[in-house]
Amino acid sequence: MTSETTAARLVEFDDAGLETWCDDETFEVTGARIGEYAAATNDPIEAHLAGKVASPVFAIVPVFEAMMMPVIEVAPMDIFGRVVHGEQDFHFHRAIQPGDKLVSRAKATGYTSRSNGTAITILIECRTEDGELVNEQYLTAFFRNIDAGKTVGEAAPAHKFDENLRAQPPVAVVPQHVDDDQTFRYSPASGDPVPLHLDDQVAKDAGLPGIIAHGLCTMAFASWAVLTEVGGSDVHRLKRFAVRFAKMVFPGDDLETRIWKVGSADGVTTYAFETVRGEDVVLSDGLAEIAD
């Protein structure tokens, strides 16, 4: 392929859209919805399945309507079809529980122009109606082969995997399987209706071999792997959970989540992890912080 066909297209982003909160979105949490999400992500933790407390990545559900709104305040609509979910980073202040009435808002904090595209950082806040901060989330929206021409504002906090960890064996390796009907269960449980996950023909028309699994579903797989192996299956202890979405996952895939201990400080132990399919890393730069 020639350099001309791979050159990034120069597009002007709207800096006035930065640091502008979107309208509030409200969501009422039920035990049934918590349990449905756990079942849709093959979560084995009983408290999640029973709807007593939400699994970590369930935190995306209450903010789903708000999270992408700031992107269109910064990026032109004619390139919106190129956007992919690049990274997700949850910072938890407390776990979500049934009966919570949550209010979410989001804003773009900045964008970074790279040789292969431009990343917009979205900060999402999720609070109770009384204003208690439940979690903060950093979403990186990535536009492939789009050059914004500059870097502006603040990027998401780093969570890069330290390659030196490979000199030691992981503390845990968790085999996982993506069911053939996984996307059809995850879509209603999460509220994500994107047809690439549900319609084989739409996926093929987009140049894919078939429907793809939701990236956040794969992230949820990794979350229960980490919690069950090094977190005592206690979501209340999880303080941060971050990944980069490296490759697509498909129904029927066999995965493996590998976990390394990084170190402990101030009552919190940090772990690095990745999820692989054979030789392919599908979730990279995984980071989990767990209270001791």
DSSP strand pairing (133-144 vs 83-92): antiparallel
% residues pLDDT > 90 (the chain) = 88
pLDDT digits (tens, 9 = 90+) for 120-129: 999 999 999 9
Cα–Cα distance, 96 to 26 (Å, whole number)? 14
Tokens 């690439």 correspond to 196
Residue 7's pLDDT is 74
Q: Are 173 and 256 in contact (CB under 8 A)?
A: yes
Cα–Cα distance, 130 to 36 (Å, whole number)? 26
The contacts of residue 243 (CB under 8 Å, 6+ apart) are 87, 88, 89, 159, 219, 222, 275, 283, 284, 285, 286, 287
Region 219-247: what's the mean pLDDT? Answer: 98
% residues pLDDT > 70 (the chain) = 98
Tokens 């900060």 correspond to 123
CA dist 239 to 56, 229, 242, Å?
10, 16, 10
Cα–Cα distance, 288 to 88 (Å, whole number)? 12
| Closest listed residue to residue 182, CA positions, set 203, 194, 193, 198 | 198
Q: Are 123 and 136 in contact (CB under 8 A)?
A: yes
Residue 208's pLDDT is 86
pLDDT at 1 over 80: no
DSSP strand pairing (9-10 vs 146-147): parallel
pLDDT at 14 over 80: yes
Q: Which residues pair with 137 in a beta bridge?
A: 90, 124
The three state secondary structure string of 145-169 is: CEECCCCEECCCCCCCCCHHHHHCC
Q: 54 is written with which tokens?
A: 């939400």
Region 186-200: what's the mean pLDDT? Answer: 90
pLDDT digits (tens, 9 = 90+) for 201-218: 988 888 889 999 999 999
Q: 208 is written with which tokens?
A: 């894919």
Cα–Cα distance, 133 to 123 (Å, whole number)? 13
